[in-house]
Amino acid sequence: MTRPFNSIPEIWPPNSEVHKVIEKFEILTEEEQTEASVNHEEFLTQTITKDEKVKRLTEDNNDKFMKELMYACLNGNLGDLAMDDSMAGHEILGVYSYVYI
């Protein structure tokens, strides 16, 4: 890595640290070395699965919030639903077209 005011490159991490990591890796058995590795297809499958789970959980959270908001409107106690930073990213703006306060 070079810096604007220093023409001598700085190597990070130091060579001694790199050699220590490589030595630790080489001491491991072949099974231990490949234990956590996945091929490209497995990696993509895991990533897509996680993304789908996050989308599903986000939709579930939005649905639960909408139900809670509707019940609060029906019961007349909207004060219980204070909107704060935790609601950032929710599609709340559409709610106000249906809720008359």
**What is the token pair recorded at 56?**
């599903």
Q: So what's the pLDDT on residue 100? A: 42
Long-range contacts of 6-9 (CB under 8 A, 24+ apart): none
Entry pTM: 0.47
> pLDDT by residue (tens digit) across 7-28?
787 777 888 899 999 999 999 9
SS3 call for 25: helix
SS3 call for 65: helix
Residue with tokens 């559409």: 94
Residues of the chain with pLDDT under 70: 1, 79-101
| Rounded (to 5) percent helix, strand, coil in the chain | 60, 0, 35
Q: So what's the pLDDT on residue 74? A: 86
Domain locations in the chain as residue ranges? 15-97
Q: So what's the pLDDT on residue 11? A: 75
For residues 88 and 60, the answer to whether their CB atoms sit within 8 Å is no
**What is the token pair recorded at 99?**
């809720």
